[in-house]
Structure 1
Amino acid sequence: MVVGIMRLDLHLHAPQNLKEKRSVVKRIIGRCRERFPVSAAEVGSQDLWQRAEVGFCMVATSEADIQTVFSHIEDEIERLALADVLDQDTEFLHYS
């Protein structure tokens, strides 16, 4: 069993205040949860209205499966055109 964790640092284009930011982040997280088998949440930069840190987690049998899904998530966020990915960190935990 492999647990994959990915953190994305995003620059949001549209929001002019925290209320608009929450709406954009909710849309990004909802879309990713809907399309991919991951858990997701906003995990940082909650007081900044043009930045967001979003965390994703997935359990699978191999690192390659998780890495493929994480890559598709990044592509989906870029395709939505609501944010740019500034930074990405990924970690894998292996259990036997």
Structure 2
Amino acid sequence: MVWRARCRILTSPQSLKEKRSVVQSVLAKARNKFHLSAAEVGEHDMLNVAEFGFCSVGVDATKLEQIAERCRDGLERDFPIEFFDEDISVESY
């Protein structure tokens, strides 16, 4: 599963350093709690928008989509972010 997600940072960071703090916390939570590979993949120069890429490998596509949904809900609950543009792609080989 590959999940690309853009989100708004609701606290309106005043510097890239403040944005980086939120982004790094979001990435760490996605990696540690949800066991996803995660990276910031775009919107590097915009203070109030972040773009993330997440990836996971598994046998059951439904379970992978549920993990993405739980991760999104958990991240929105725990951090000052709101997802507004997402693409989830599940490939079978």
Question: TM-score band (shorter)?
Answer: over 0.9
Give the 4+ runs in structure 1 shifted more than 4 A: none
Matched, 1:44 2:42: yes
Contact 2:26 2:79 in 1 (8 A): no
Partner of 1:94, secondary structure, is coil
Q: Give ranges in structure 2 of 5+ residues lacking alignment.
A: none
For structure 1, the residue ranges without an aligned partner over 5 or more in a row are: none
What SS does structure 2 have at the residue aligned with 1:33? helix
* Identity level (%): 35
Q: Shift of the alpha carbon at 1:17?
A: 1.1
- State the 1:69 CA deviation: 0.3
Q: Can you list the C-alpha shifts for 1:23-65, whole angstroms capped at 9, x where unaligned?
A: 1000011011110121000000001010000010000001011
2:33 alignment partner in structure 1: 35
TM value normalised by structure 2: 0.94
Would you say 1:5 and 2:35 are equivalent positions? Answer: no
Tell me the C-alpha RMSD between the 2 structures.
0.8
Match of 2:55 among 54, 57, 78: 57
Identify, as 1 or 2, the structure richer in strand: 1
Q: Secondary structure at the match of 1:11?
A: strand
